Structure 1
Amino acid sequence: MTPDKKRAREAAQVVLEEFGIKRIPVPVERIIKSKNIMLEYAPLDEELSGMAYTQDGISIIGINALHHPNRQRFSAAHELGHHVLHAAEINETVHVSKGLRALKRDPVSSQGSDPLEIDANTFASELLMPEKFLLEEIGPDGLDMEDETSVEKLAKRFRVSVAAMKFRLGGLI
């Protein structure tokens, strides 16, 4: 299986359209709850960001309550990505995301090379930082990626980490 970033971005755009999202920050919790997915916050081991599974017809997302709120938002969007993109893979099996890069605890997934994880991260990036909203915020003059203050302000507007914003902006260039 290979990652399908195009499919992941398109799926996130469908969710944005489905919920009529017209501005930032994207209300990821409201989207999850509106999709009848239980969203639970609980203290987890530091390296665990979240989990996604469906059991007996009940869809659940668990998020590490000990992480920074911006990381929790990204984890929630990432786990939503698993529900949207990988329903068969998470049915009756708990999938744990470790450091936002792992669906399963193994050497391949911890390196961020697991196709399911790449898809879920791509989905989360597009959902929380939609390309059209980013381009509107950046404006016609663009953004100097070396200007930390500008990147921090942009990350704050989208309620994501600076690292997530830099990664997302790097994918647009």
Structure 2
Amino acid sequence: MSAKIAEAIEAARKVLSDHGIKSAPVPVDRIIKAKGIALEYAPLEPELSGMAYIKDGIAIIGLNSLHHPNRQRFSAAHELGHHELHADILSSAVHVDRGFQVLLRDDVSSLGISDKEREANAFAAELLMPSEFIAGALEKNGLDIEDDEGVAALAKKFKVSTVAMRYRLSNR
């Protein structure tokens, strides 16, 4: 794991701690608003997941209102990651994230070329599916990642997709 990915994970853990989050599902929208970031939903192009920017000193996250609520949650956490980790670049340009699958933002991210996208993905995964919460759930339920019903139940508890949960369980 790169040092930047480890920093992203630690930043997510700090956000959880600062906001007193002790159980799933993590209220990402409440965290965003508590940080003074405007959260806006609008129908966007299907491949557009979200965007993060700072305009006139106001931090903004925009999400695609047409996407599934679980996808919106991951996009919100990902964009919050950009605000937490990459605020310096958000004032100069709107950061737009196109559609993604699993925890990868796009084809560039899946190739490992975009470090900032991988960092925001790591932040989002830790924020929504904290390793501490996952470990506790696994210990309590004795879940096997091949157990489709168990993975689906855990995904429902965390309000993430089963694909995202399976990815998280495989890469924790």
1:49 maps to what in 2?
Answer: 49
Corresponding residue SS for 2:145? coil
**Structure 1, unaligned stretches of length 5 or more?**
none
Which residue number in structure 2 is paired with residue 117 of structure 1?
117
Letter in 1 for 2:167: F
Query: Normalised by the size of structure 1, how large is the TM-score?
Result: 0.91
CA distance in 2: counterparts of 1:85 and 1:32, whole angstroms: 14
Please give the residue correspondences for 1:28-47 in structure 2 after superposition, counting only pairs within 5 Å: 28-47=28-47
Q: Give me the whole-angstrom Cα distance separating, in 1, the residues matched to 2:5 and 2:112.
A: 14
Structure 1 pair 40–137 and aligned structure 2 pair: CA distance change class (3 A): same
What aligned pairs does 1:55-134 form with structure 2 within 5 A after superposition?
A: 55-100=55-100, 101-102=104-105, 108-109=108-109, 111=111, 113-134=113-134
Q: 1:58 to 1:158 in 2, by over 3 A?
A: same
Quote the Cα distance in structure 2 between the aligned partners of 1:155 and 1:23: 13
**Given that residues 37 and 59 in structure 2 are in contact (C-alpha distance below 8 angstroms), is that contact kept between their aligned partners in structure 1?**
yes
3-state DSSP class of the match of 1:86? Answer: helix
Matched AA of 1:19: H
Shift of 1:17: 0.4
Residues 1:140 and 1:29: Cα distance change in structure 2 (over 3 Å): closer
TM-score, scaled relative to structure 2: 0.91
Contact 1:55 1:93 in 2 (8 A): no
Distance 1:109 1:3, change over 3 A: farther
Count of matched residue pairs: 168
The answer to whether residue 14 in structure 2 is matched with residue 14 in structure 1 is yes
Amino acid at match of 1:46: P
Aligned-partner Cα distance in 1 for 2:3–2:65: 29
Distance 2:95 2:110 in 1: 13
| C-alpha distance after superposition, 1:25-82 (max 9, x if no partner) | 0000000000000000000100010000011100000000000000000000000000
Matched residues in 2 for 1:109 and 1:146: separation?
26
Residues 67-118 of structure 1, C-alpha deviations (whole Å, 9 max, x = no match): 0000000000000000000001111310110114448xxx634755310000
- Tell me which residue corresponds to 2:169: 169
Cα root mean square deviation, aligned: 1.8
